[in-house]
Amino acid sequence: MGGDDPGITGEEPGDRAVVVRYGEIFLKSEPVRRQFIGRLTRNLYHALDAAGVSVRITTPRGRVIIWGRDTTLIAGIAAEVFGVVDAAPCLVTSHQIDAIKSAAVVLTAPLLGPGTSFAVRARRETTEGPSSQDLAATLGSYIQATYPGCRVDLTRPEVVVTVESRKTGVLVSVDKVKGPGGLPLGTQGGLLALLSAGIDSPVASWMMMRRGCRMTHLFIDGGRFAGTGVMDGALENHRRLSAWCRGVPLHIVVVSGVPFYEAAERSRSTRLTCVLCKRFMVRVASVLLPHTGAAALVTGESLGQVASQTLGNIRVISMATTVPVLRPLIGTDKREIVDLARSIGTFRHGKGDEGPQTLCCHAVPRYPATDAKVHEVEAAEARSGIDAVIAATLRSVLVVTAQDGVVLFSSTVPVSALLSHLACLSEREGFTQVLSPDKEAR
C-alpha cells in the first residue's frame, strides 16, 4: 500500500494532493507510533477504496499525504476517518519562492476579493532558507498585491493560507476539513456496546470508536413490550454508525428480551423494572462478551438523566457483572449529547426518549425506583428465575452486518459459534487489528 514512503514529492512540482494531520498519535513511542500510523494509513485506504477512489499514500514525519485526482473528494472522505485531525487539499511545490507564490495564488483565486481578510501561516522543517516569519510576510505581500482590496488579518482571517516547508518539498493549502481526531480504529481492541433506537447509545459507541476501539453492537429486542419502531430504529443507528468506519464491516448482535419482560411481569416488582432490565442487559452482554472478542462493555448512561441512571441505581446495575463497563457519556448533559448526535449524523427527529409511542418502551413503570436496594433487586431476580431467562434469551442470536452506511446481510447463529462467525466476516473484509487488546499502547 505504499505507506512507508518518507517523501512528499509527487511526479512533478505543482502536483495536487491532500495533507492529513493527526494529533496524539505523535505522542506515542516510536514503535507504537509506527503501528498507529500504519493502521491510520490502512484505514484511509479502506475508506477511499470503498468510495471507488484510487490513491497513493506517503507518510513523511508528522503527516500523511494522499495523492489522487479529486482532492476535494479525498479530503472529505479522509476527514471522516478516526485519528484524522484535519485534511486539506494542497499543491506540492519545490522550495523556489516563485513556485510557492504561484501555488498560493492558484489556491486563493476563488476565495479572495475586495474586503476579504486573509493570513498566511508558515512553518518549516529545516533551518535552511527564509524563516517562517519571512516566508509568511513575503507570501502575504504577494497575495495582497495580486488581489487588490483584500486585507491581512492575523487574528480572525476569513481565509488561511498554510505553507509547510519540508525537506523534500513545500505543501501549500487553504481549505481544511475538520476530522474527528482521536485514534485510528482498530488500535485499542474490541468493545461490545449496548445499542438502542435512542439518542445516547449511538453517541457512546461513536465516542469509543473515536478512541480507536473496534465495536460490536448488542440490541435487546423487546418485542411486544417495545414500540413497533424500536427494532428498525436500532438498526438505523447501527447503519449510520457503519458510515464512520468505511471499508470495515460493523456487526450488531440482536437477542430477544421477551423472556425477561414476561418474567418481570410475573415477579410483580414493578418499581424495580428499569433496574432489573438494565441488570438483565449487562448480564446478557457479559455472557456474550467473550464470544465477540470484546474486552469491555459500553453503555450510553448519563448520570441522573433518567431513573435507572441515578448514582445508586448505576451502582446496583454494575453489581450484576464483573466485566469492565465503560460509560463515555456519564458526565455529559442531554443537550451536549443531542448536539454531538446531530454532528455525527445519528440524530433523527422523533426518536428514542424524545419520540412517539412507536419508539417507547411499554414496560416502564409510572413511578420507577430511583435508589433501588440490591437485596430487593436480587430477590426479584430470584423470583423471576433470571438464570433460566438468560439461557432462554441466548439460545441463538441474530447477527446483522452493515458497511459504508448500508445493511448488507443478516444471519442467525448459536452463541457458541458467534466468535468464529464474526471473525470469518471480518477476515473476509480484510480487516485485522494492529494491536491485540492486551498489548500496551505506550
CATH number at residue 349: 3.40.50.620
* More confident position, 272 or 428: 272
Q: Judge contact between 234 and 198, C-beta under 8 A.
A: no
Task: Say how many domains are in the chain.
Answer: 2
Instruction: Quick: pLDDT tens for 144-173.
Output: 999 999 999 999 999 999 999 998 899 999
Nearest Cα to Cα of residue 105 among 115, 120, 95: 120
Q: What is the DSSP string of 199-234?
A: SHHHHHHHHHHHBTPEEEEEEEE-GGGB-TTHHHHH
Instruction: Quick: pLDDT tens for 353-378.
Output: 444 455 567 777 778 899 999 999 99
Looking at residue 1, its pLDDT comes to 42
Q: Judge contact between 264 and 363, C-beta under 8 A.
A: yes
Same structural domain for residues 327 and 398? Answer: yes
| Residue finishing a domain among 113, 143, 178 | 178
Same structural domain for residues 279 and 352? Answer: yes
Same structural domain for residues 170 and 228? Answer: no
Q: Is residue 24 part of a domain?
A: yes
Same structural domain for residues 70 and 124? Answer: yes
Contacts of 291 (CB under 8 A, 6+ apart): 415, 416, 418, 419
Q: What is the CATH number of the domain that holds 122?
A: 3.30.2130.30
Residues, the chain, total?
A: 442
Using pLDDT thresholds of 50, 70 and 90, give the confidence band for residue 8: low
Mapped onto helix, strand or coil, the DSSP state of residue 436 is: coil
Q: Judge contact between 82 and 212, C-beta under 8 A.
A: yes
Same structural domain for residues 215 and 251? Answer: yes
Same structural domain for residues 50 and 199? Answer: no
Mapped onto helix, strand or coil, the DSSP state of residue 294 is: coil
Cα–Cα distance, 173 to 92 (Å, whole number): 9
Q: Judge contact between 10 and 168, C-beta under 8 A.
A: no
Q: Is residue 83 part of a domain?
A: yes
Same structural domain for residues 208 and 92? Answer: no
Same structural domain for residues 157 and 210? Answer: no
Q: Is residue 269 part of a domain?
A: yes
Residue holding cell 458526565? 331
Same structural domain for residues 152 and 96? Answer: yes
Same structural domain for residues 170 and 254? Answer: no
Q: Is residue 9 part of a domain?
A: no
Q: Which domain holds residue 273?
A: 190-428
Same structural domain for residues 160 and 236? Answer: no
Q: Is residue 2 part of a domain?
A: no
Residue 107 neighbours by CB distance under 10 Å: 23
Looking at residue 253, its pLDDT comes to 97
Q: Is residue 197 part of a domain?
A: yes
Q: Is residue 439 part of a domain?
A: no
Q: To the nearest whole percent, how much of the chain has pLDDT over 90?
A: 76
Task: Report strand pairing: 297-298 vs 56-58.
Answer: unpaired
Cα–Cα distance, 288 to 391 (Å, whole number): 12
Q: Is residue 397 part of a domain?
A: yes
Instruction: Quick: pLDDT tens for 180-222.
Output: 999 999 999 999 999 999 999 999 999 999 999 999 999 999 9
| Residue finishing a domain among 132, 156, 178 | 178
Same structural domain for residues 293 and 420? Answer: yes
| Residue finishing a domain among 133, 152, 178 | 178
User: Dihedral sign, CA of 75, 34, 437, 183?
Assistant: negative
